[in-house]
Amino acid sequence: MKKLYLFLSVLILSASPAKAQWQLMDSIDAGNFVNIHFFDAHKGIISGEMDGRFLLTNNGGLSWDTIKVPFLDMYTDFLTDMQFVTDDIGFVCGGSGFSMIPNILMTTKDGGHTWDSVTVTNAPVYEFTGVDFKQTTNDVEGVVVSYSNIFHVTDTGRTFQSMVKPTFNFTITDAVFTGGSRVLLLGYDFASKTHRIYSTDDWGINWDLRYQDTLAVTSIGFASVYGLAGCGKGTILKSSDGGNNWAKQKIAPDTITFNKVKFGNNGFAYLLGYKTIGNGGGYIYGSENFGQSWHSVQVDPQFWLSDLAMPTIATGYVISNRKLYKTTTGGGLGLSVADVDGLADGINVYPNPASKVVHIEVPLSMRLVSLAVYDATGKLVKSNSENTHELDLSHLSRGTYLLEINTGQGVYKRKLLLQ
């Protein structure tokens, strides 16, 4: 039954300029917000442990509609991960050995308004902890994982196949499907007492060890070939080759642990972190140059942050266990907000995705001064200081790049995908 879930309050988090850019939009008395997704700056959905409810908004979080799933209730709604492949098709997973439903995977085909349960396995698997799907040329493909199991699907969630994990002693903490039959697994090996990253290019028939260390690694994420992993002690891992090689980078004090990696619809990278000693609190770190530099802000003074959605450069949403925060100014992360949603500045970059030549159009009120292209490592790979409105990128390999457009009135940024 659908009910209107009205926001309770709109509060300013802090008087400081950075923190004041995140406003407390909503809170709940019972349950937990776990995952959030926004399709654009206004339309979004929240899932979690809320007595089998989903919350949907069409007005940027000013009000929420409650969607109740009939077969979920307070004993079964341990929902741990949510992902949308398109504006209509999405997946959510969860379950618990202490509930009536030990594992559950649900899918929606109407943007989260209705949900159907999907049978993954009849084996005694407890608590699906993660999903990662992509729309390929064939269908919607991807993986769903628990701590001990991994399954893959190539037909929009209809038929799942079990995959053999890398070693018996390996506990899975996160998984990424990057396309084809390539999957990366993050987890902990009890035999060696190391955190590890494995990759497979054949749905788990063979696994390659890509990283191992005693340093805690908590989450992993990818945008094209560019990968990030969140670690303890203020450290992250970076990969620019699809996860084959990883390099450490310290970007925060030892007291910060990064619990989630996110990539915004705006092409920027984000990390959620929390303080391991003292009063705790939830932090966001943001980078607009593939992790070469980071800006940070504390959003919640007490609780860590569980998920984030940045549909535009300026507009973003983040949740803690029972709070929803919103920014319309970039969140105080030092990232460019001149281009709010890729259209407001009047600059047009096409085609994107591109294969060889990219064209740049600027309004008559602007003058194109220079262009610069950076790869996933932050390296300058193409520049042009002449008054030209096109770039030949045929010499570059496939992947995600950052295009900087200098108009003399400001520098505008675009994520550029080469195919």
Which CATH number fits the domain that encloses residue 372?
2.60.40.10
Mean pLDDT for the stretch of residues 125-133: 93
Which of 167-176, 366-375, 390-399 is predicted with the least confidence, judged by mean pLDDT? 366-375
Q: Which tops the pLDDT comparison, 70 or 214?
A: 214
Please give the residue range of the domain that contains residue 363: 348-418
3-state class of 330 per DSSP? Answer: helix
Mean pLDDT for the stretch of residues 237-252: 95
pLDDT of res. 238: 95
pLDDT of res. 275: 92
Residue 346 pLDDT class (50, 70, 90 cuts)? confident
Which stretches within 182-283 are classed as H helix? none
- For residues 327 and 353, state if they share a domain: no
pLDDT of res. 140: 93
Is there a domain that residue 143 lies in?
yes
> What is the number of domains present in the chain?
2
pLDDT of res. 258: 97
CATH number at residue 70: 2.130.10.10
Average pLDDT over all residues of the chain: 86
Q: Give 213-228 pLDDT, tens digit per residue.
A: 999 999 999 988 889 9
Residue 116 pLDDT class (50, 70, 90 cuts)? very high
pLDDT of res. 130: 96
The predicted model scores a pTM of: 0.81
For 333-354, b/e burial (b = at least 16 CB within 10 A) is bbbbbbbbebeebebebeebeb
Is there a domain that residue 342 lies in?
no
Half-sphere exposure of residue 345: CA atoms within 13 angstroms, side-chain side? 26
pLDDT higher than 60, residue 59: yes
pLDDT higher than 90, residue 24: yes
Q: Give 347-383 pLDDT, tens digit per residue.
A: 888 888 888 899 988 888 788 888 888 877 667 888 8
Which stretches within 322-366 are classed as H helix? none
Mean pLDDT for the stretch of residues 125-154: 93
- For residues 392 and 286, state if they share a domain: no
List of E strands, 51-163: 53-57, 63-68, 79-84, 90-94, 104-108, 116-118, 128-135, 140-146, 150-153, 160-163
